[in-house]
Amino acid sequence: MANNLIRFEGRFAACSACLPTQVQYAINAANSLQGSPYVRGAGHGKIEDRAYDCSS
């Protein structure tokens, strides 16, 4: 059953509506980063930025 809660469809993840809202939010947030440019070094001054480094 757990394998059906989160599934990958190409570069994006999809999740079951029975998961907690926080988990659904995190998956949707990660999906929104797809296609964003990568900038090495992190240190973002704001949430909405022109590029991302998810190492921090």
Contact assessment for residue 14 and residue 29, using Cβ atoms and an 8 Å cutoff: no
Q: Is the pLDDT of residue 47 over 80?
A: no
Whole-angstrom distance, CA of residue 44 vs CA of residue 16: 31
Query: Could you read off the pLDDT of 15-44 as tens digits, one per residue?
Result: 999 999 999 999 998 898 887 776 666 555
Amino acid at residue number 28 = N
Q: What pLDDT score was predicted for residue 36?
A: 72
Range of the domain at 37: 1-56
Look up the pTM and report it.
Answer: 0.63
Contact assessment for residue 49 and residue 41, using Cβ atoms and an 8 Å cutoff: no
Number of domains in the chain: 1
